């Protein structure tokens, strides 16, 4: 059995590239770029709450970092460094090898360095703190939405929730659709490049972790504005058209968590730039509604303008605690 220090050295220590000092000392050292603000965010994943018991460790390593990258994306920040606090029930080296493989593959792809953390025994818990850089004073905030802005969504909504519903035996999509939905759930892609490119274009942004309606709701509250969104315009996987389960579809699209797409607002004048940006990134960007003055409430309407009931998003202290 290896000691805690051997496990750290073997699985978490890498030669520092951009950090002044990485894993191995009492603290890491980083030097931030001039003319940048440091964006800092922490996200925690608990077994049985954020992922199903027995989750495949390589995908879990990917997701642990991806959910944190998504917060950088939502700020328009370039992710640079991360720390990982991990509680492990046992020193299962095959598990650690696969987990760190998933984590480091994504970290290298996104140019993020793991510079420290903490390792302890306990119920499987993963907490990453991520540090990113954003041009000074230019970060994308939840509070910047203005009446008249368009509301935009990247990618597709509801895929991860469909994957979860499938794994829980609540729905039975075609095999290819099920596979794609599970991939959305297990290995989300944070929209980092999009976030960075939205600086100077978007007025506000958030990532969809708790569900579209809930997360757009945060923008509305922080910006003290309302919004009307077209339900039919919301981009979603084609699997839903084949399923013909309209209630489940509505719950997944409006309230499904874990998609890690970006919801953002921008002036109508930005439409051509956003169309070009979507093409440049090979990422679908869809205009789904508009910001209005007035109470911070979201109206989701169908093609006839009738209100679509919008189920709430996930809140750890309201539901299923
Ligand atoms: P300390 O006793 O000072 O807290 P630790 O023994 O906890 O030191 O950690 C030793 C070094 O290993 C530190 O640089 C710490 O940041 C790093 N470290 C510990 N656990 C992890 C981890 N899971 N991922 C990355 N670095 C880690
Ligand atoms: Mg420690």
pLDDT tens for each residue of 140-159: 999 999 999 999 999 999 99
Report whether 262 contacts 74 (CB < 8 A).
Answer: yes
SS (HEC) of the chain: CCCHHHHHHHHHCCCCCCCCECECECCCECCCCCCEEEEEEEEEEEECCCECCCCCHHHHHHHHHHHHHHHHHHHCCEEEEEEEEEEECCCCHHHHHHHHHHHHHHHHHHCCEEEEEEEEECCCEEEEEEEEEEECCCCCCHHHCCCCCEEEEECCCCHHHHHHHHHCCCCCCCHHHHHHHHHHHHCCCCCHHHHHHHCCCEEEEEECCCCHHHHHHHHHHHHCCEEEEEHHHCCCCCHHHHHCCHHHHHHHHHHCCCCCCEEEEECHHHHHHHHHHHHHHCCCEEEEEEEECCCCCEEEECCCCCECCCCCCCCCCCCCC
Residues contacting ligand 1 via CB (< 6 Å): 8, 12, 23-26, 84, 86, 114, 116-119
How high is the pLDDT of residue 16?
79
Note the pLDDT of residue 7. Answer: 86
Atom of ligand 1 nearest to the CA of 26: 3
- Residue 319: per-residue pLDDT: 45
Q: Which of 107, 117, 124, 128 to mutate to test the pocket of ligand 1 (most atoms within 8 A of CB)?
A: 117
* Ligand 1 pocket: which of 10, 23, 64 to mutate (most atoms within 8 A of CB): 23
Distance between first and last Cα of the chain:
36
Q: What is the pTM of this model?
A: 0.94
> Ligand 2 centroid to 56 CA: how many Å?
26
Ligand number nearest CA of 25 is 1
Residue 236 — left, alpha, or beta (φ > 0 → left; ψ -120 to 50 → alpha)? Answer: beta
Q: What is the pLDDT along the chain (321 residues), one digit of tens a residue?
A: 678 888 888 899 988 788 999 998 999 999 999 999 999 999 999 999 999 899 999 999 999 999 999 999 999 999 999 999 999 998 899 999 999 999 999 999 999 999 999 999 999 999 999 999 999 999 999 999 999 999 999 999 999 999 999 999 999 999 999 999 999 999 999 999 999 999 999 999 999 999 999 999 999 999 999 999 999 999 999 999 999 999 999 999 999 999 999 999 999 999 999 999 999 999 999 999 999 999 999 999 999 999 998 776 666 665 433
Q: What is the CA radius of gyration of the chain?
A: 20
What are the tokens at 68?
A: 């944190």
pLDDT, tens only, 291-307: 999 999 999 999 999 99
Nearest CA-CA partner of 80 in 1, 134, 144, 43: 134
Q: Please give the number of the atom of ligand 1 that sits closest to the Cα of 22.
A: 14
Cβ 243 vs Cβ 171: under 8 Å: yes
């Amino acid at each position: 059995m290896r000691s805690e220090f051997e496990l750290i050295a073997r699985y978490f220590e890498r030669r520092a590239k951009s950090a002044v000092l990485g894993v191995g000392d009492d603290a890491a050292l980083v030097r931030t770029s001039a003319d940048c603000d440091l964006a800092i965010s922490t996200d925690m994943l608990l077994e049985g709450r954020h992922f199903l018991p027995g989750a495949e460790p390589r995908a879990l390593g990917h997701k642990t970092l991806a959910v944190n990258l998504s917060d950088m994306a939502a700020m328009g920040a370039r992710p640079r460094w991360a720390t990982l606090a991990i509680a492990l029930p046992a020193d299962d080296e095959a598990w650690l090898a696969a987990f760190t493989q998933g984590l480091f593959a994504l970290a290298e792809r996104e140019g993020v360095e793991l510079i420290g953390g903490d390792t302890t025994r306990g119920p499987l818990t993963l907490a990453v703190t991520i540090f990113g850089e954003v041009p000074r004073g230019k970060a994308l905030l939840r509070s910047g939405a203005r009446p008249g802005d368009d509301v935009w969504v990247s990618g597709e909504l509801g895929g991860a929730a469909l994957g979860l519903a499938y794994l829980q035996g609540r729905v039975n999509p075609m095999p290819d659709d099920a596979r794609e939905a599970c991939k959305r759930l297990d290995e989300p892609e944070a929209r980092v490049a999009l976030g960075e490119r939205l600086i100077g274009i978007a007025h506000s942004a958030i990532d969809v972790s708790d569900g579209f309606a809930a997360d757009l709701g945060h923008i509305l509250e922080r910006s003290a504005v309302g919004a009307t969104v077209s339900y039919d315009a919301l981009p979603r996987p084609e699997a839903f058209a084949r399923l013909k389960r309209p209630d489940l579809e509505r719950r997944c699209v409006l309230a499904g968590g874990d998609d890690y797409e970006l919801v953002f607002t921008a002036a109508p004048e930005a439409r051509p730039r956003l169309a070009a940006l979507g093409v440049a990134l090979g990422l679908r960007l869809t205009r789904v509604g508009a910001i209005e003055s007035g109470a911070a409430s979201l109206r989701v309407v169908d093609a006839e303008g009738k209100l679509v009931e919008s189920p709430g998003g996930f809140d750890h202290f309201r539901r299923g605690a």
